[in-house]
Amino acid sequence: MPRNTSFLPSSEPLRNDDSLVLQSRHTTGALSFLHPTHAVFRLRDLQTTEKSLSTNESDDSKAALEAHTIASSNDQLAHDVHFAWRSRDDRKGRHLLQYKPAVQGDSTSPLYIVPKKSASVTETLKGIKFMLTCFRYWDISYLVAITFFIASATWILNSFFLWLPLEVPESTFSGEIVVGGGVSAFVGATLFQLGSILLMIEAFNAERVGCFGWQVEKLVSKQGGRDMVRISPNLQHCEHHHNDKSGIGKGRGNGQEWQWFPSWNTIRSHCLREIGFLASFAMFCGTTVFWISGFVALPGVIDHMSQGTLNGLYWVPQIVGSIGFTVSGLLYMLETQPNWFTPSPNILGWHVGLWNGIGGIGFVLCGSLGPAYGNSGAQYQSALANFWGGWAFLIGSTLQWYESLDKNPVEEQ
Q: Is the pLDDT of residue 254 over 60?
A: no
Nearest one of 301, 354, 35, 332 to 196, comparing CA atoms: 332
How sure is the predictor about 250, in pLDDT bands with cuts at 50, 70 and 90? low
Quick: pLDDT tens for 117-153: 999 999 999 999 999 999 999 999 999 999 999 999 9
CA 61 centroid distance within chain: 41
pLDDT of residue 329: 98
Q: Which of 248-262, 314-328, 397-411 has the lowest average pLDDT?
A: 248-262
Query: Is 365:382 a contact under the CB 8 Å cutoff?
Result: yes
How sure is the predictor about 320, in pLDDT bands with cuts at 50, 70 and 90? very high
How large is the average pLDDT for residues 147-170? 96
pLDDT of residue 294: 98
Q: Which residues contact 73 (CB under 8 A, 6 or more apart)?
A: none
pLDDT of residue 56: 41
CA 1 centroid distance within chain: 29
| Residues above pLDDT 90, as percent of the chain | 67
Q: How far is residue 212's CA from residue 12's CA, in Å, rounded to a whole number?
A: 13
Query: Is 276:335 a contact under the CB 8 Å cutoff?
Result: yes
How sure is the predictor about 332, in pLDDT bands with cuts at 50, 70 and 90? very high
pLDDT of residue 54: 40
Nearest one of 332, 346, 400 to 118, comparing CA atoms: 346
Q: Is the pLDDT of residue 369 over 50?
A: yes
Residue type, 52: S
pTM: 0.91
Q: Which of 72-76, 199-203, 297-301 has the lowest average pLDDT?
A: 72-76
Quick: pLDDT tens for 285-316: 999 999 999 999 999 999 999 999 999 999 99
pLDDT of residue 55: 37
Q: Which of 103-117, 235-249, 261-275 has the lowest average pLDDT?
A: 235-249
Quick: pLDDT tens for 33-59: 999 999 999 988 654 444 444 434 444
C-alpha distances in Å from residue 332, one per residue of 131, 275, 349 = 22, 8, 7
> Do the bridges between strand 38-43 and strand 20-22 make them parallel or antiparallel, or are there none, so unpaired?
antiparallel
How buried is 19 (Cβ within 10 angstroms: 0-12 exposed, 13-18 middle, 19+ buried)? middle
pLDDT of residue 34: 95
Quick: pLDDT tens for 87-115: 999 999 999 999 998 876 666 667 889 99
Domain ranges of the chain: 3-128+211-238, 133-207+250-412
pLDDT of residue 53: 42
How large is the average pLDDT for residues 325-347? 97
Between CA 333 and CA 344, with CA 339 as vertex, the angle to 5 degrees is 45
Nearest one of 20, 10, 40, 41 to 28, comparing CA atoms: 40
